[in-house]
Amino acid sequence: MTNNRLPECPDKSRLMDQYSSAIAEFSRVAGIVNVRMGVMYKGDYDKLMRTVAEAREATEQAHCSLLAHIAEHGC
């Protein structure tokens, strides 16, 4: 039986790690909102929601970078 796997692409691995880290951070900050919603000051809530939005944007950017790499390199 032959091994039909493509060689590992270090750039794809790096981009996958960045995407995974971004997802984990988004999940972490969204979880804080979930736990603290309704029991924090409005200013704190607004600041936390900005952090959630930034984490979501970072996740979307990491995902787009990964997809672009896959499309360009076919790996």
**pLDDT tens sequence for the chain (75 residues):** 555 666 789 999 999 999 999 999 999 999 999 888 778 899 999 999 999 999 999 999 999 999 999 999 988
Burial of 19 (0-12, 13-18, 19+ CB in 10 A): buried
**Res 52: pLDDT:** 96
Would you list the domain boundaries of the chain? 10-73
What is the pTM for the complete model shown? 0.81
Residues 75, 72: Cα–Cα separation, whole Å: 8
Q: 3-class DSSP state for residue 42?
A: helix
**Res 8: pLDDT:** 85
- CB contact set of 58 (below 8 Å; sequence gap of 6+): 22, 25, 26
